[in-house]
A and B are shown apart, each in its own frame.
Chain A
Amino acid sequence: MNDSAIEQKLLEIFSEFSAENTKVVIDLDTRIDAIKLDSLDVLDLQMRIDNELKVNIPVDKFSRCEDIRAIRDAIKSL
């Protein structure tokens, strides 16, 4: 999957989670804490990313990502 496809997929997933919680407009610079996720949402989010992008981001790495751009970079670095 190329960079643009990864970005597109991430924005799509985050938009869905945002719509459920806050309706924040999503772009690469959106901070994770702006979407007001609880811990079960974060688990669902991580599993969804792992499944749809066929990756396995360790939780430690995932928890250090402050925004969507950082998640994209973390995926690219795997």
Chain B
Amino acid sequence: MQSSRSSIIRWLSGRRTSLSKKLIDYFIRGYLFYYSRLLRLESNKEIFRKTWIAIDGNKFINASVAYCQHPFQLSNREYNLLVLLKRMHKAGIFYIPELLFPEDEGFKALIEREAPFLVASVHNGFAFTSRVISEAGRNVVTIAANPEQVRRTTFKRSGVTAEIRMIERNIYCMAQLHEAVKEGMVVCCDIDFQTGNVATLQYVSPVLFKFAKNNHLSIIFAKYEITDAGLVRVLFHESDHTQEPDEIAGQFIKYVNSSRTRKRILTVEKFNIAT
């Protein structure tokens, strides 16, 4: 009895997610059709801007996003931006999000340091930290389970044009990362992950913080916010690297969730398969 009730709840929840996703997709396609075909706006930037404002102010869309389970635990705006850009690219309307670079002296000093450092972030479907750091003139290295797929999709969608060194995630990745760091490269990595039986990326691995401590690298936390106009503001925060890796990972989770209305459920866990 109990199991049949929970299967019905699971089925209903799955249907609700699927319907919500479809509803959001129909709205976005509708807006895109309206601005690109009916109003015939010529600039892709303008199509994006108008569509973004329409989506962001649409109560049905924002209510539906709450029911869309996404592995990355995205906020409403993060989810809408990802879906809109994917839909625009499918429709042949190529647009890369505009970034608001950090203007503070801390970021400038960080980039001008000759020493390598680690920038840690969580998965969100984009690679904005790699783009910011590489456009600021530093060579970037990252680790990915499937480097070619990341290059083809995430980098393209994020507007990464610089040559980023990609290291495949396996037991030799830290040794390769060590070589890259010796060359002065900046490490930009998403450090949240999932295990086989959970649908979302719920864990934060302290392994890269341990690597950073062992190699005397500064540790930078990164996240981004999306403005009302659909611009992406990348935020950085330098961590206290004298703490233990697990404590730094705990601080990282707090940083990721600060100023978010929809908190990500994250716990510190060592990723013990490959990294």
Contacts and interface: CB of A to CB of B under 8 A. Distances in A.
Interface of A: 33, 37-43, 46-47, 59, 62-63
Interface string B243-275: 000000000000000000000000000001011
Contact of A38 (B176, B214, B275): B275
A59 B172 CA distance: 7
B175 A42 contact: yes
7 contacts: A38-B272, A38-B275, A40-B211, A40-B214, A42-B172, A43-B177, A63-B175
Contacts of B211: 40, 43
Contact of A59 (B175, B210, B272, B275): B175
Interface SS of A by simple majority: helix
A63 B272 CA distance: 19
Contact of A40 (B170, B179, B210): B210
Identify the 9 closest CB pairs spanning chains A and B, nearest first: A39-B174, A43-B174, A63-B172, A59-B175, A43-B175, A42-B171, A39-B275, A59-B176, A39-B171
- Count chain B CB atoms within 10 A of each CB in A33, A38, A63 and give the residue with the most: A38
Q: What range describes how many residues of B lie at the interface? A: 10 to 19
Contacts, number: 43
A47 B172 CA distance: 12
B173 interface: yes
Nearest to B207: A40
Contacts of A38: 171, 207, 272, 274-275
B171 A62 contact: no
Interface string B7-30: 000000000000000000000000
A59 B171 contact: no
Interface in B185-243: 207, 210-211, 214
Nearest to A46: B175
A46 to B, nearest CB: 5
B86 interface: no
B145 to A, nearest CB: 13
B143 to A, nearest CB: 9
B178 interface: yes
A59 B170 CA distance: 12
B170 A39 contact: yes
Nearest to B210: A40
Given A38-B171, A38-B207, 5 more contacts: A40-B207, A42-B174, A47-B178, A59-B176, A63-B170
- Count chain A CB atoms within 10 A of each CB in B171, B173, B177, B274 and give the residue with the most: B171
Contacts of B179: 59
Nearest to B215: A43
A43 B212 CA distance: 13
Contacts of A39: 170-175, 207, 274-275
